[in-house]
Amino acid sequence: MSATFQGSKNYVASEELMRSVNIAMALQKPLLIKGEPGTGKTMLAEAISEALGKKLVIWNIKSTTKAQDGLYVYDVVQRLYDSQFGNEGVDDIAKYVKMGKLGEAFSSDEQVILLIDEIDKADLEFPNDLLWELDKMEFYIPETKETVKAKQRPIVIITSNAEKELPDAFLRRCIFHYIEFPDAEQMEEIIKVHFDKVEEHLLEQVLETFYWIRGLYQIQKKPSTSEVIDWIRALQLGGVDVDRIRQEVPFAGVLLKKNEDIDVLNRYLR
């Protein structure tokens, strides 16, 4: 292994996760990271980028995203417009080809970190449509009759919120790691990364209340890391009585985002 990931000062990573990252890099395979929202999947790619001193290229996947979007886009409309108005260079098709995020990663002179974020948002065929490109690290542009090959094989990190199952053929090509939701001790470390100073009694009450709420089985959308960090900021700004946090759960709307969950919490607080 030419470079290894040993964590980052701004990211709390387990030994097992760091091993998964390094094995994926050594085997030159994509690392598929699953876990519920707030477990730091996206931040992992940022931490790897920071630790290894490599550029981060982020491809945010949406429900409408197609594999082609990540390769390149041929702007045929602009070319037609230019030809109608007699603009020069319309015969140079390459001028109208714009690289997508995968194309950008392949075209980079330096090795980059490529994050394919929330791949499970796209349709079921999306992962399969990327098999060749992720295996061979190349793709063909018919309009220019050009094959784009990766100058430096990117380190590929793929995240999934497990909203839908991914195809077996795709899974076989990945190194897999599931990030468990942080326990109270790990969460304390994460919180301290985000705050210069947190009063210990406040932190103790916050963590006790946060994990109590997550443990209520009727809660549909459990609060995640980002919510607890926002909640601490709200509590600090609101100047609440720390000893009343567990009994009253002030600013509950920062933690819970569904009416039904707020109702569940209120029933327990009565």
pTM of the model: 0.81
Confidence category of residue 207, pLDDT binned at 50, 70, 90: very high
What range defines the domain where residue 123 resides?
15-179
* Mean pLDDT of the 134-147 span: 92
178, with CB counted inside 10 A (0-12, 13-18, 19+), is middle
Residue 216 lies in a domain: yes
Helices (H) and strands (E) in the chain, counts: 14, 9
The answer to whether the CB of 73 falls within 8 A of the CB of 97 is yes
* Residues 168 and 196 both lie in one domain: no
Residue owning tokens 């982020």: 58
* Residues 172 and 189 both lie in one domain: no
In the DSSP assignment, the letter for residue 190 is H
- Beta strand 56-60 with 113-117 is parallel
Residue owning tokens 């947190």: 198
* Residues 138 and 261 both lie in one domain: no
Name which residue leads in pLDDT, 270 or 30.
30
* Residues 161 and 206 both lie in one domain: no
Question: Can you spell out the DSSP letters for 126-157?
Answer: HHHHTHHHHHHSEEEETTTTEEEE-SS--EEE
Q: What is the CATH number of the domain that holds 33?
A: 3.40.50.300
* Residues 33 and 122 both lie in one domain: yes
Domain count, the chain: 2
Question: Can you spell out the DSSP letters for 194-247?
Answer: H-S---HHHHHHHHHHHHHHHT-TT-SS---HHHHHHHHHHHHHHT--GGGHHH
In the DSSP assignment, the letter for residue 60 is E
* Mean pLDDT of the 5-21 span: 84
Cα(251)–Cα(89) distance, rounded to whole angstroms? 60
- Token reading at 185: 């001790």
* Residues 175 and 203 both lie in one domain: no
* Residues 38 and 76 both lie in one domain: yes
* Residues 134 and 148 both lie in one domain: yes
Structural domain ending residue among the three candidates 146, 179, 212 = 179
Percent of the chain with pLDDT over 90: 70
* Residues 109 and 201 both lie in one domain: no
Confidence category of residue 258, pLDDT binned at 50, 70, 90: very high
pLDDT tens, position by position, 144-170:
899 999 999 999 999 998 777 899 999
Structural domain ending residue among the three candidates 120, 149, 179 = 179
Cα(267)–Cα(265) distance, rounded to whole angstroms? 5
Residue 215 lies in a domain: yes
* Residues 117 and 190 both lie in one domain: no
* Residues 174 and 220 both lie in one domain: no
- CA atoms within 13 A of residue 126's CA, in its CB half-sphere: 23
Residue 81 lies in a domain: yes
Residues 6+ positions from 150 with CB-CB distance below 8 Å:
105, 106, 137, 138
* Residues 32 and 157 both lie in one domain: yes
Structural domain ending residue among the three candidates 131, 153, 179 = 179
Name which residue leads in pLDDT, 116 or 194.
116
